[in-house]
Amino acid sequence: QVQLQESGPGLVKPSETLSLTCTVSGDSISYYYWSWIRQPAGKGLEWIGRIYVSGSTNYNPSLKSRVTMSLDTSRNQFSLKLRSVTAADTAVYYCARENGDYVVDSWGQGTLVTVSS
């Protein structure tokens, strides 16, 4: 059974870069698509983007100018970088596995990232 675990700083200063890593166990990231989704407190879900082993990415147009995703097959990890953050980027960030058709079948537990000075 696949397991996903997010890691990274829980506090980021405004205008800096948010960096998160997702470690995948129980499956190889050489298969499937891998995504980041976020959820501000008390609000709904927003898809940030996804990456495939080929390096192909799809980013949400609302965040595209600030997002970079990458993956490391040797460590079975994939990562998110979100630049120039503001308080509006404060959220629980989930890493997820999706089936290639944008259906998420496995989620990490989520990590809260707060943007504050």
Partner 1 sequence: ETVMTQSPATLSVSPGERATLSCRASQSVSSKLAWYQQRPGQAPRLLIYGASTRATGIPARFSGSGSGTEFTLTISSLQSEDFAIYYCQQYNDWPPTFGGGTKVEIK
Smallest separation, CB 74 to partner 1 (Å): 26
- Contact footprint for partner 1 (CB under 8 A): 43-47, 58, 60-62, 94, 101-105, 107-110
Shortest distance, position 14 Cβ to partner 1, whole Å:
25
Taken as a whole, the chain contains a residue count of 117
The span from the CA of 11 to the CA of 33, in Å, is 27
Q: Six-digit token pair at 2? A: 């696949």
Residue 32 or 94 with smaller CB distance to partner 1: 94
What is the smallest separation between the CB atom of 16 and partner 1, expressed in angstroms?
Answer: 25
Closest to partner 1 by CB, 1 vs 116, is 1
Q: Which is nearer to partner 1, 62 or 114 (CB)?
A: 62
- The HSE-up count of residue 27 (CA atoms within 13 Å, CB side) is 19
Q: List the strands of the sheet with 3-7, edge to edge.
A: 3-7, 18-25, 77-82, 67-72
- Residue 28, phi-psi category: left (phi > 0), alpha (psi -120 to 50), beta (remainder): beta
| Residue closer to partner 1 (CB basis): 14 or 100 | 100
Give the shortest CB-55-to-partner 1 separation in angstroms.
Answer: 18
